[in-house]
Amino acid sequence: MSTSDVLLEPDPLSRAAVAKVVARIGADRAAVPNAIPVRDPHDDSVIGYVPDLGTAEALDAVSRADAAGRDWAATTPRHRADVLRRWYDLLIDNADDIALLITLEMGKTLADARAEVTYGADFVRWYAEETTRHTGTVREAPMGGARLLTRRVPVGLAVLITPWNFPLAMATRKIAPALAAGCAAVTKPATLTPLTTLFAVQLAVAAGVPGDLLQTVTTSNAGAFSNAVLADPRVRKVSFTGSTGVGKVLLRLAADNVLKSSMELGGNAPFIVFDDADLERAVEGAFNAKMRNGGQSCIAANRFLVQDGIADAFVEGLTERLTSLRMGSGLASGVGLGPMVDHNAVDRLHGLVDDAVGRGAKLLTHGRTHEGPGSYFGATVVDHVPADAEVATTEIFGPIAAVQRFSTQEEAVTRANDTEFGLAGYVFTESLDRAFHVADSLGTGIVGINQGVPSNAAAPFGGVKESGLGREGSAEGLEEYQEIRFYNLALRSTS
Ligand code: NAD
């Protein structure tokens, strides 16, 4: 069986279960007069509606969150920890429904959606624990006569803008540390995938997050939203995950009010396989790093750089793995590759393959595009890709494995770093010396060493160069929502 076989159809029981969740969050048609339709990328059918809110409503959300934020900032860390822990428990209790919703509005397989729920909920649990570990410092003034004290305080009202590819995890990775730090927040989910965020926020309120503290604004006009809310002086923080182009626009807006800014932007991850790598481990790692979410991940392996001695065997193994995937609705059992998020994505991916082949790359397998409704693009492998092909210089964001070959370590590192991006990189080798040497030489914020899925709630996730500013997850992720206050306590001798 291959990705070119008949599409697998969704299980009708799963569809019925999602309809119940959509009704539970009030996103069924009747409940929303001025509405943005949310579609299932499997067949383009409408699964729910969310309100298309304007700038007046966005500023009203800012006002409500700002007012609620004052009380929240005064709560104890223990209180915030207890609320977050209850939210975690509710996310886990509702994991099946959340996963169904993610699959239906975004397209990823149910297995990937379940993994996202585990990953996304983990940020909430981690920050429930971390908020009680707030620390300050006490230092001696070098010349004597004073103690220098620091404490961490909430930065203030945060605007959180998230993409469609991980609709739960990208939201919880921001909301959990914001609430843990004592901040109020206004979230704006992606227009393609607002339902998961709305459901997660509903569960947060059920867990004890004050209703006004955490606002969600759904809108079809993201530019008008950011222009209005980032100009409001009550907003003190913007955290964005999405494309580098939009990140630059938001940084310019943030400059006007000097907002504390976190930017999790695009990537172009090199995945380097040396001759001395364990082949099976490298193929498995490559498969995971490429195909999680159908390739629609910011840390997805974008450029496979493979040393000459292992290249043929690696390409053969990866191609075999990719052609064994069955394509269809993420709700169907046995499916390994769901639809892309929309038709624009499919057109873009075809353009990348045509460009690479036009420049001399060798097309090894190309899953067909499904005729009719649904935005499908099959797993594809292109070998001998020239370094200047678009598939090597831009973010693919889809199931295309693009392979380049190299002969020396130096060449691999030089080519890996020849990009304006610096989010993630991967190195596969059985030599510990080589692993660390290459990892230290890569210009990326994250390196997977013999590991295709490096993300972890306890680790600082983020990029360098045009891949972003700041970190999410871990203690560093909490600091993104805090300011440091410094007190100088004068001490004079009493003797
Ligand atoms: P996108 O930049 O098109 O949109 C992201 C979000 O920004 C959406 O909510 C969108 O509605 C909103 N937006 C768009 N224009 C805006 C504007 N002018 N003002 C305010 N908001 C605006 O990105 P996308 O297509 O949703 O997501 C894919 C991109 O996200 C990829 O580049 C991917 O690498 C990146 N990403 C990065 C990370 C990371 O952690 N670094 C994680 C996931 C995705």
pLDDT digits (tens, 9 = 90+) for 208-231: 999 999 999 999 999 999 999 999
280 is catalytic: no
Tens digits of per-residue pLDDT, 324-346?
A: 999 999 999 999 999 999 999 99
Q: 269-456 adopts what CATH topology?
A: Aldehyde Dehydrogenase; Chain A, domain 2 (3.40.309)
- Residue 450 φ/ψ region, left for φ over 0, alpha for ψ in the -120 to 50 degree band, beta for the rest: left
The catalytically annotated residue of 105, 264, 390, 466 is: 264
Q: What's the length of the chain?
A: 495
Q: Which long-range contacts (CB under 8 A, 24 or more apart) does 445-449 make?
A: 445/471, 446/299, 448/285, 448/289, 448/424
* Interstrand relation of 446-449 and 424-428 (parallel, antiparallel or unpaired): parallel
- What ligand 1 atom has the least distance to the C-alpha of 244? 32
Does the fold of domain 269-456 match that of domain 15-265+468-483? no
Could you confirm whether domain 15-265+468-483 is CATH 3.40.605.10?
Answer: yes
Sequence spans of domains, the chain = 15-265+468-483, 269-456
Instruction: Calculate how far, in angstroms, residue 397's C-alpha sits from the geometric centre of ligand 1.
Output: 12
Question: What angle in degrees, to the nearest 10, is found between the helix axes of 12-24 and 194-206?
Answer: 60
Pick the atom of ligand 1 nearest to 219's CA.
Answer: 11
Does the beta carbon of 218 sit less than 6 angstroms from any atom of ligand 1? Answer: no
CB of residue 246 inside a 6 A radius of ligand 1? yes
Cβ 167 under 6 angstroms from ligand 1: no
- Measured CA to CA, the distance from residue 431 to residue 25 in angstroms comes to 52
Q: What is the pLDDT of residues 167-178, one digit of tens each?
A: 999 999 999 999
- Smallest Cα–Cα separation from 136: which of 483, 394, 495, 401? 483
Shortest-distance atom of ligand 1 to CA 245: 2
CB of 445 closer than 6 angstroms to any ligand 1 atom: no
Determine which residue's CA is closest to atom 14 belonging to ligand 1.
222
pLDDT, residue 368, reads 64
Q: Tell me, what DSSP letter sits at residue 327? A: B
Average pLDDT, the chain: 95
pTM of the model: 0.96
Determine which residue's CA is closest to atom 41 belonging to ligand 1. Answer: 264
Pairing of strands 146-154, 137-140: antiparallel
Given a cut of 90, whether residue 262 has pLDDT beyond it is yes
Write out pLDDT tens, residues 430-482.
999 999 999 999 999 999 999 999 999 999 999 999 999 999 999 999 999 99
User: Given this model, what pLDDT does residue 5 score?
Assistant: 53
| Least confident piece of the model among 23-37, 265-279, 429-443 | 23-37
Structure tokens at 250: 């938001």
| pLDDT score recorded for residue 493 | 87
Q: How many CB atoms lie within 10 A of CB 486?
A: 11
Assess whether the C-beta atom of 423 lies below 6 angstroms from ligand 1.
yes
**Residue 467 CA: which ligand 1 atom is closest?**
41
Residues 421, 424, 428, 433, CA torsion sign: positive
Q: For the residues 132-159, what does the mean pLDDT come to?
A: 95
Q: What is the pLDDT of residue 1?
A: 33
Q: What share of the chain is helix, strand, coil (3-state, %, to 5)?
A: 45, 20, 35
pLDDT of residue 16: 85
Mean pLDDT of 84-92: 98
Q: Is 468 in the pocket of ligand 1 (CB under 6 A)?
A: yes
Q: Please name which of 18, 16, 200, 206 lies closest in space to residue 97, comparing C-alpha atoms.
A: 18
- Output phi, psi for 400, to 5 deg: -110, 120
Is the pLDDT score of 137 beyond 60? Answer: yes
pLDDT exceeds 50 at position 2? no
